[in-house]
Structure 1
């Protein structure tokens, strides 16, 4: 093997040097070994092929492993594929091709062991292949099935690697291989320590493989690299079974075996001096069996006391497969560091998920917060305005195939459509039901059902695609643990923009001043020349329009159906109530509380989002018992109400 590695390194160093020798002549030198390869003879062929530096060697090894090499009646070797007894052949050295009867050729069929050796050699050749894809595939192959023989050529190929990403990958894989197979202990420890900052699954797998251990038992602790001493009395029955399997103790009799032994030794109505009528007592059965054992008629009875004595007489342990304690100590320290980093990364990933969910809840609820806070209207159709916005985005994409432009156009169009729908709803229905919350709830619920059915009649029951632009495809990947989709990042940014915009409208514009005046004291606002009815209409339209924009954003990653509003109406009301009715900052606080709370519950049961939502609803019910006005209590009319 050492000579083979030397030859491979020569190939890596001199692959670009021209040679007058062709591949066929090398194959003819080893014709018998090529035609009938074995694990013992193939190494010589591979050594000479590596030393030749011929570029066609890589292709030959691929074909040889795939059983696509044939030997003609003239003794020469060809690449070939058979079809209906006709062989399409190609020269191993030139571009010459042709066809001939397959009967004139014999197919070379290396067995599985030889193919594995060829595959190992092939990977090493491919590490410095001019083709980037071949080099990438070779590194991936080493990562999947690392072997000590691959380390030298992998290290030799790093300095000459021209692709920066692949070079970094080669260094990483080289660390994996060195950590497991390097001959020098210091080199292995250095490689293991370098993995302490690598949170990838591959790095953790390498460290766990180094720390692989097996359970053993002996009369005395053996001179091996012991991982830990096991207390056999934590699981006495399982521990005794290990003793029996190791041949260090006799097997414990089963109740069935004891019964069969007793039945076979009945004499004059007694067994071991115990009358048959008394054998229903477990203690007397053991006494009878012990008497038979003393008489040499049965094996020694293994009682709990006998078992415990045997357990106390042996040492149970877990021993590392790796015999060097310095290696396993370094691996344990590295794995502990990695697990700490992974735990921190999981918290960061959970935080990003919670921020994303909170931003979605905020977008879905902010319009409802404004409407509910100013007007006191329980709008059960708010979810349908979200649905209308999503469908508006879908319709816009039907006319504008450029997804980036269509999204930019869809946002204001969705606002306009849902603003108009909100104004119409307020003028036609809501304004007649002020200060009548039960009738308002029933009316808006009926409108919700009607809008869902209208959407079904227009768009059908199947989900419609609202496609995001290419620049929103994929995810921001920090490492193997932390990643978040670009769509969710965009929704988070959109939520921040809307927070700033709404605060500007409420604090810096005349409309905002009038809205706040009506919120604080509608009677006094009317006496100052403000029209509360107009403000209510515009406010309801504004809240509905914001819901439409939220629908476009939510539709980019969620299904767009007639029922999609129902998925967000409950969370929207929870967000508004928990945060504080009619308060923008309260809505933000409520969205953060529910988003982080739901993700925190999902941490304990990631596979059941519905359960997390249910527990969150129960938490909200308890929360409002102690703080009925929400996190940020509203002052003024709503507070008085």
Structure 2
């Protein structure tokens, strides 16, 4: 009988075990929450971990959504049945959403629903758990957001989930970022000094701001002071009073550490004496004797001897107190091997950052040089061939920029409008240059002062004309979308796409001008007139016609430069004035009338200006002043420029 009963019980137990296992496997999120209903409804920082562990163990995909809603106070409990829902206000009640399926669960009256409001500490715990879920979320944006969250608030418990998510990461960029972030966490929160040192050494190959921030955090110091240097601390630096630390600050640290009494100033001494007046005396000294410094000193000394006031701190006593103590900086990190590794890694990174800063500075200088080259090449041709000091050259740049702006108002497609604007700006400024040469310049050859004054007056007139037509407000010349953004090599080196485009445009014009001057008949005639106008005229070349075409060509190139410059600078009537000085400096330094000289001058001025700005970034005016002084000195030693021209311009 007993044996039969045992067999029956074993059979029933065998039947019940698969059922329980299936029920555990197929349980939904609501069942997990009901099993921990008290922790959900009244979460506490100490008890919420049990619920979080249960949610993680369930492996349910909707857990991530629940954690988000729970942290944002979007979870409600219905009093009538104790179930949990996502809820939103709807009329006089709430519209419910099932936490397990995300389906509509009807409505409920307001008095039947209780909002779950976890406090700040609980939300931080939830946030940490949520990040762990999001690290392996199918959505790339969620995984990226989780990494951003870890980077903002790194913690030791994030290291293992982050490492676990690396193996399944499919996006190569995000995988590399996860690996670097895991190394940063290991450097700060590794289980052993060896693990932390290995992570720190691995980080020495990076130059990102985040990596430098982690290493600087490891190297964080706090000031300390003691009679002798304490044993067992990780000393970063022993401070020398007078060199590393002022005497006043050193004594203030002694007072803060309760190692010296606070010093009393004159007003404090007077206040203490006033507080201790007793029967017409202070410390036995009549009040009438307190009118002098000596009398006040005797009264204060008497009070101090009686213990009524703190002892007076004399300069000699202060110096003695400072001299008898050691001032130092102590690392927060107590392990010296870790701080040594961090310091060595940070020094390597700083050297690499410096080299990359030089590369970035070189790219900026190259970009600026290309802008100056475009702005000055037309002036170089005009000045070199004709000897005309054209102060209105900057206004041709302005005319080209405004031409691009007008074209964009007609053609809204920015790419197409840019293609149309470049030849249109050349045509407009070419025609304006020819008109200026025919009407004014041709009558002023070999009269440089009159030419300078006339072109200066024309520049003022053109500026006022632009103001009358377009107003004084800056006009935008919008670049196409494919020129937006920048080419970013790393955290230090990067250059805007628009500047790359201007550099390419400068190269194109360099090649085009060299082709025209060296491979075409008009270029041959220009070079002939430049080198010997009399001999060129005797060979049948019309110098007057060459002067007209040359002036038009130089003006047209300035118009194209205006379109390029206007793409990243605001278009105003005064924009030409910002480039006329640099254009003349480029021409003079490079060599009048020589394309290669203009290129060399633009490169020298671009490098010089960016180099000065690197050492004095907060004062661009000072940078320009130093640059002008350098150029003045330069032309004293090489008045004909880097590439001296042979011919008429050289003789002039």
Count residues in correspondence.
624
CA deviation digits over 1:250-303, x for unaligned, max 9? 222222233345564799989778996696456x75466445544555432221
CA distance in structure 2 between the partners assigned to 1:299 and 1:51 by the alignment:
66
Distance 1:60 1:517, change over 3 A: same
CA distance in structure 2 between the partners assigned to 1:608 and 1:314 by the alignment:
43
1:153 Cα offset (Å): 0.6
Q: Matched residue of 2:593: which SS?
A: coil
> Which of 151, 159, 164 pairs up with 2:159?
151
Match of 2:356 in 1: 345
> Which of 354, 368, 371 pairs up with 2:365?
354
CA deviation digits over 1:212-255, x for unaligned, max 9? 11111223322211111122453122112212221222222222
Indicate conservation of the 8 Å contact 1:272/1:289, yes or no. no
Distance 1:299 1:553, change over 3 A: closer
CA distance in structure 2 between the partners assigned to 1:421 and 1:253 by the alignment:
78
> Which of 308, 311, 322 pairs up with 1:311?
322
> Which of 107, 117, 123 pairs up with 2:115?
107
> Which of 235, 239, 246 pairs up with 1:226?
235
Indicate conservation of the 8 Å contact 1:211/1:320, yes or no. yes
Match of 1:81 in 2: 88
Indicate conservation of the 8 Å contact 1:253/1:301, yes or no. yes
CA distance in structure 2 between the partners assigned to 1:446 and 1:372 by the alignment:
18
1:560 Cα offset (Å): 1.7
> Which of 332, 349, 366 pairs up with 2:343?
332
1:611 Cα offset (Å): 3.3
> Which of 62, 65, 88 pairs up with 1:59?
65
Match of 1:435 in 2: 446
Distance 1:68 1:568, change over 3 A: same
Residues 1:501 and 2:509 aligned together: no
Kindly report the root-mean-square deviation, in angstroms, between the aligned alpha carbons of the 2 structures: 2.3
CA distance in structure 1 between the partners assigned to 2:147 and 2:615 by the alignment:
37
Indicate conservation of the 8 Å contact 1:85/1:103, yes or no. no
Aligned 1:87-102 pairs, distance under 5 A: 87-94=94-101, 95-102=103-110
1:620 Cα offset (Å): 2.7
> Which of 35, 39, 43 pairs up with 1:29?
35
> Which of 460, 473, 495 pairs up with 1:484?
495
CA distance in structure 2 between the partners assigned to 1:288 and 1:633 by the alignment:
85
Indicate conservation of the 8 Å contact 1:127/1:135, yes or no. yes
Match of 1:130 in 2: 138
Unpaired runs of at least 5, structure 1: 1-17
CA distance in structure 2 between the partners assigned to 1:544 and 1:227 by the alignment:
63
Distance 1:267 1:36, change over 3 A: closer
Q: Matched residue of 1:317: which SS?
A: strand
> Which of 606, 614, 617 pairs up with 1:606?
617
Distance 1:41 1:292, change over 3 A: closer
Indicate conservation of the 8 Å contact 2:280/2:286, yes or no. no
Indicate conservation of the 8 Å contact 1:270/1:276, yes or no. no
1:631 Cα offset (Å): 2.5
CA distance in structure 1 between the partners assigned to 2:139 and 2:500 by the alignment:
37
Unpaired runs of at least 5, structure 2: 1-23
CA deviation digits over 1:369-400, x for unaligned, max 9? 11011111111111121122222222333343
CA distance in structure 2 between the partners assigned to 1:501 and 1:458 by the alignment:
33
> Which of 163, 166, 178 pairs up with 1:170?
178
Q: Matched residue of 2:639: which SS?
A: coil
1:411 Cα offset (Å): 2.0
Residues 1:322 and 2:333 aligned together: yes
Indicate conservation of the 8 Å contact 2:273/2:282, yes or no. no
CA distance in structure 1 between the partners assigned to 2:483 and 2:50 by the alignment:
54
Match of 1:253 in 2: 264
